[in-house]
């Protein structure tokens, strides 16, 4: 067996990296490339477009379509390179020894390239159950695009029995990740000349108690939990990511806006935290209106995705671990689409893919050839397992057990 990633995989990765699929851009050129590539091997793909028609998810099945099978899932969009100092063209795959540099190499076009490189082997195998491919858009901005694909899949008579989302985990199996809620708070004040400050309502200063609430609540979560020590950060976190306010030093600011997020461990209830925050925002809103009828405060929901929580000792976990070289189980701090597949479709889902999120979203993002090779080896073993009737029966029993033991994250 080759001791490095296959030339086909590296070539496909170069093709995928060359598509600028930053979330604010269309992903259709990449999706059409994948559709046409699959067609070369006799695989028909279904495209599920967004309302604008400028983006699409892709779904394809290789093998007997009347069976459940395993879904391999990944997103096609990437984060921007704006403001980052790269030492090479982020949209041209650059090889430097073991490392392959380019935007999305780790997160997560490396996984997509491996999957596509293995399509010929999937087609040639006598699969007992199919392998499904699900490539989505707009994951990086809140796992938005996959939701329309999930709505479409609800209508299918046969759905996948299990799913592996190929986010970068250094090819270690992740059984859980935190959920997320994102929101925006806007505080409205009353502008005036700063020399007459008491006649205005300073929106920035009015927002300060809410900023303090985030600091205090985050500290309470860190000191009191609930804890899940299988995560690197074993408690729910709260943070403010952006803040804007004011126009000039000599004007009392009439507006302040900040965006926040809550990333919860499965044992915590983010909706309860959001309800507590709403109480604080409503209290501030009533207070500000006493000074000016146009002043106030509002909380706007921006989006969310659920956490993932799979039993670490389940038969499905053991089935997948047997296909990997690393026996470790992980819980990851970043979010994925896995929780949506698990909770909205009832598909037992795990996360495992090449590369590390330590390189994702960074300048000079890279994936190593060894990581791609490890992923290729995993998929070769998966293909062989899905062509083995005895292994398929074990998989079917494992999936049935996982569904029976399903606990919402």
As a whole-number percent, the residues of the chain with pLDDT over 70 amount to 97
Band (390; pLDDT cuts 50, 70, 90) = confident
Burial of 100 (0-12, 13-18, 19+ CB in 10 A): buried
The question of whether 139 is a catalytic residue gets the answer yes
Band (2; pLDDT cuts 50, 70, 90) = low
- Residues 383-409: what's their mean pLDDT? 75
Band (377; pLDDT cuts 50, 70, 90) = very high
Residue 349 predicted with pLDDT over 80:
yes
Given 36, 40, 89, 139, which residue is catalytic?
Answer: 139
Query: Which tens digit of pLDDT belongs to each residue from 196-241?
Result: 999 999 999 999 999 999 999 999 999 999 999 888 899 999 999 9
- Residues 379-386: what's their mean pLDDT? 96
The question of whether 77 is a catalytic residue gets the answer yes
Query: Which tens digit of pLDDT belongs to each residue from 237-263?
Result: 999 999 999 999 999 999 999 999 999
With tokens 């067996």, the residue in question is 1
Given 20, 36, 44, 77, which residue is catalytic?
Answer: 77
Longest dimension (CA), the chain: 81
The pLDDT assigned to 97 comes to 93
Helices (H) and strands (E) in the chain, counts: 11, 16
Band (55; pLDDT cuts 50, 70, 90) = very high
CB 36 within 8 A of CB 44: no
Instruction: Please name each of the domains of the chain with its CATH number.
Output: 7-177+307-404 (3.40.630.10), 179-305 (3.30.70.360)
CB 57 within 8 A of CB 120: no
Band (164; pLDDT cuts 50, 70, 90) = very high
Query: Which tens digit of pLDDT belongs to each residue from 82-137?
Result: 999 999 999 999 999 999 999 999 999 999 999 999 999 999 999 999 999 999 99
CB proximity list for 194: less than 8 A, separation 6 or greater:
249, 250, 251, 252
């Amino acid at each position: 067996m080759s001791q490095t990633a296959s030339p086909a995989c590296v070539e496909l990765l170069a093709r995928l990296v060359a598509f600028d699929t930053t979330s604010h851009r269309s992903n259709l050129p990449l999706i059409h490339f994948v559709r046409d590539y699959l067609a070369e091997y006799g695989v028909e793909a279904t495209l599920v477009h967004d309302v604008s028609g400028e983006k699409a998810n892709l779904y394809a099945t290789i093998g007997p379509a009347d069976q459940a099978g395993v879904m391999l899932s990944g997103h096609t969009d990437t984060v921007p390179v704006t403001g980052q100092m790269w030492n090479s063209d982020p949209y041209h795959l650059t090889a430097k020894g073991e490392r392959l540099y380019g935007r999305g190499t780790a997160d997560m076009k490396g996984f997509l390239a491996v999957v596509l490189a293995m399509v010929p082997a999937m087609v040639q195998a006598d699969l007992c159950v199919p392998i499904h491919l699900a490539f989505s858009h707009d994951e990086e901005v809140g796992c938005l695009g996959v939701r329309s694909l999930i709505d479409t899949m609800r209508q299918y008579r046969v759905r996948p029995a299990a799913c592996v989302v190929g986010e970068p985990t250094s090819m270690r199996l992740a059984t859980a990740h935190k959920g997320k809620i994102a929101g925006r708070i806007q505080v409205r004040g009353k502008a005036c000349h700063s020399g007459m400050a008491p006649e205005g309502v300073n929106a920035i200063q009015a927002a300060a108690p809410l900023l303090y609430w985030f600091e205090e609540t985050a500290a309470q979560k860190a000191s009191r939990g609930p804890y899940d020590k299988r995560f690197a950060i074993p408690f729910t976190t709260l943070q403010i990511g952006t803040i804007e306010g004011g126009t000039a030093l000599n004007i009392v600011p009439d507006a302040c806006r900040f965006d926040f997020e809550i990333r919860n461990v499965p044992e915590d209830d983010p909706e309860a935290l959001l309800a507590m925050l709403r109480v604080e925002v409503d209290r501030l809103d009533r207070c500000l209106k006493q000074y000016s009828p146009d002043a106030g405060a509002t909380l706007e929901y921006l989006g969310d995705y659920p956490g993932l929580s799979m039993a670490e000792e389940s038969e499905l976990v053991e089935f997948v671990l047997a296909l990997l070289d690393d026996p470790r189980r992980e819980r990851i701090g970043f979010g994925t689409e896995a929780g949506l597949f698990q909770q909205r479709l009832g598909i037992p889902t795990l996360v495992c893919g090449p590369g590390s999120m330590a390189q994702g979203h960074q300048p000079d993002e890279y994936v190593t050839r060894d990581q791609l090779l490890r992923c290729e080896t995993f998929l070769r073993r998966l293909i062989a397992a899905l062509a083995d009737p005895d292994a398929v029966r074990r998989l079917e029993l494992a999936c049935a057990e996982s569904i029976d033991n399903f606990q919402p994250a």
